[in-house]
Amino acid sequence: MEVVITESPEAGGSLVARAIADLVNSRATPVLGLATGSTPLPVYDDLVARFDRHEVSFANTRGFALDEYVGLPEHHPESYREVLLREFVNRVDMPDDMLFTPDGWAEDVRQACHDYDVSIADAGGIDLQLLGVGTDGHIGFNEPTSSLASPTRVKTLTEQTRVDNARFFDGDVANVPHHVLTQGVGTILRARHLVLLAWGEGKADAVAATVEGPVTAMVPSTALQLHPHATVVVDEAAASRLRLREYYREVFDGKPDWQGI
């Protein structure tokens, strides 16, 4: 696993955005895995700036979201489809119909989950998957005890995750849905490159467990250790509990191998 420690979320966002722009420019039909939450916003902001400077076009890029809430009214501003349209897709030249999100409004959500994995495979798989991490080590909405081989499926959120996400719902945990559809850990592991981002002291334990802890379904982000090309980009505060952080600085500082092995 590559561990890159950056001086700020903006510096980390810019580093990752440059890698994404290079990838998009080098592929006829690039496929990105898009994450929500506050963590990837510096990446999206930097990609929009690159688009505004005519350095990159997303006209032929397909984007697959990690997850979606179940039970929100359609077009609710906090549905992840709306968040991704607002924070990224509609700020660049990516057509709305090139954004794919699990269908949290489907009558048959199990079928919708299966169809979602098929649509990722039909697109040729995900070239680069952006990931944040929950304070409990969830990726997408794969809560602790998620199978590390899971497909896209319905999950029930833990109280901790609903409390963490209440800030997007007027600060009231009662407004946060209980159920979600999420790419499974197995789905995520099929992407060709995983890039997990984390900023701030609040993520320091999750980052240390992800990178240096034992692989366990209790911390689904530890599944990154099973992937042949995973990059973790963190700021100083999020890196503060990594035992080998001086080693990572020496080996990877500012020069991750975005091409992989």
Question: Considering beta carbons, is residue 56 or 67 the nearer one to ligand GLP?
Answer: 67
Rounded to whole angstroms, the Cα distance separating 76 from 168 reads 12
DSSP secondary structure code for residue 219 in this structure: B
The CB-of-246 to ligand GLP minimum distance in angstroms stands at 26
Max distance between CA atoms of the chain, in angstroms, equals 52
The CB-of-202 to ligand GLP minimum distance in angstroms stands at 8
Axis-axis angle for helices 41-52, 9-26 (nearest 10): 50
Question: Considering beta carbons, is residue 30 or 37 the nearer one to ligand GLP?
Answer: 37
The CB-of-196 to ligand GLP minimum distance in angstroms stands at 9
66 binds ligand GLP (CB under 6 A): yes
Contact 231, 258 (CB under 8 A): yes
Rounded to whole angstroms, the Cα distance separating 185 from 96 reads 26
Pick one of 79, 101, 161, 222: the residue that binds ligand GLP (CB under 6 A).
Answer: 161
User: Closest by alpha carbon to 1, among 213, 230, 219?
Assistant: 230
Return the ∠ at Cα 60 (arms to 58 and 65), rounded to 5°. Answer: 70
Q: Where are the beta strands (DSSP E) in 60-135?
A: 62-65, 67-70, 99-100, 128-131
Question: Considering beta carbons, is residue 6 or 39 the nearer one to ligand GLP?
Answer: 39
Contact 53, 21 (CB under 8 A): no
Pick one of 2, 67, 117, 143: the residue that binds ligand GLP (CB under 6 A).
Answer: 67
What residues contact residue 128 under an 8 Å CB cut-off, 6+ apart? 19, 20, 23, 32, 33, 191, 192, 193, 195
Question: Considering beta carbons, is residue 42 or 56 the nearer one to ligand GLP?
Answer: 42
Beta-ladder partners of 32: 63, 128
Question: Considering beta carbons, is residue 30 or 134 the nearer one to ligand GLP?
Answer: 134
- Phi, psi of 17, deg, nearest 5: -60, -40
Task: Map the footprint of ligand GLP across residues 130-149, applying CB under 6 A.
Answer: 132-134, 140-141
Window 33-62: contact mask with ligand GLP (x via CB under 6 A) = --xxxxx-----------------------
Of 56-64, 113-121, 128-136, 216-224, the segment contacting ligand GLP by CB under 6 A is 128-136
Question: Considering beta carbons, is residue 4 or 56 the nearer one to ligand GLP?
Answer: 4
Q: Give the residue numbers marked as catalytic.
A: 67, 136, 138, 143
The CB-of-249 to ligand GLP minimum distance in angstroms stands at 24
The CB-of-203 to ligand GLP minimum distance in angstroms stands at 7
Of 25-33, 86-94, 127-135, 230-238, the segment contacting ligand GLP by CB under 6 A is 127-135
Contact 188, 131 (CB under 8 A): yes
Interface residues toward ligand GLP, by CB under 6 A: 35-39, 66-67, 132-134, 140-141, 161, 165
